[in-house]
Amino acid sequence: MPELVFFSGTMDCGKSTLALQIAHNRDARGLVGVIFTRDDRAGEGKLSSRLGLVTEAIEAPEGMDLYGYLVAQLSQGGKADYVIVDEAQFLAPDQIDQLARIVDDLGLDVFAFGITTDFRTKLFPGSQRLIELADRLEQLQVEALCWCGARATHNARTVGGAMVVEGAQVVVGDVNRPAEEIGYEVLCRRHHRKRMTSAAARAGALSPDVLPVNHDA
């Protein structure tokens, strides 16, 4: 039976790598896949992994009818055996409904990959709808680590290395951006609550609580 499967995890836990692996394994068996993505770090119409792997994909902007796109492709003689959606958290809830319809009406497996919560620990609407509709939820087994070595559970947005908790929900960035730019960092819950990024931790280590006093002065 075809399924809608939601693979979730924090940033930097290998979601896009797994998506590329699934596509590779099925393509090697002669199956044809359709890959959708939104706002990938490599640019429009790309599915990329931080390991350096990249493949062409179909950009799925706001308002695009994913079900309608598949129906049109199939009606024109195209072939599709499965669907992969990366950065699924950026999709609108109605687009997630369209993914469910692809499974139910077209009989195709849909593998969606995304993070569940934003930098404010709030659910992305697309991820919330996937949790509500998916036949199966899969937590990625490759654990991203906080700078302290604990399991990372939260995504933090940073500006100049400092964590921010206000702003638009979607701002495209990456965990490998220079500190002075808008970027992201994965943190454990404790350090996310304390807004303690790796840069803040380094600064704290370099700033002693008590300055030495020169009694000879």
User: Which residues are annotated binding-site positions?
Assistant: 9-16, 86-89, 170-173, 184
- Binding positions for substrate are 170-173, 184
Q: What is the 3-state secondary structure (H, E, C) of 114-141?
A: ECCECCCCCECHHHHHHHHHCCEEEECC
CA-nearest of 36, 5, 192, 217 to 109 is 5
Annotated catalytic residue, options 62, 87, 143, 180: 87
Q: In which residue are the tokens 């499965």 written?
A: 82
Known binding-site residue numbers for ATP: 9-16, 86-89
Amino acid present at 137: L
Which of 2, 3, 8, 6 minimizes the C-alpha distance to 117?
Answer: 8
Beta sheet of 162-164, edge-to-edge order:
162-164, 154-159, 182-187
Q: Name the residue with tokens 């996310």.
A: 192
Q: Which residues contact 53 (CB under 8 A, 6 or more apart)?
A: 16, 17, 20
The dihedral region occupied by 25, where left means phi > 0, alpha psi between -120 and 50, and beta the remainder, is: alpha
Give the separation between CA 87 and CA 47, rounded to whole angstroms: 9
Q: Is 62 a catalytic residue?
A: no
Q: Which residues are catalytic?
A: 87
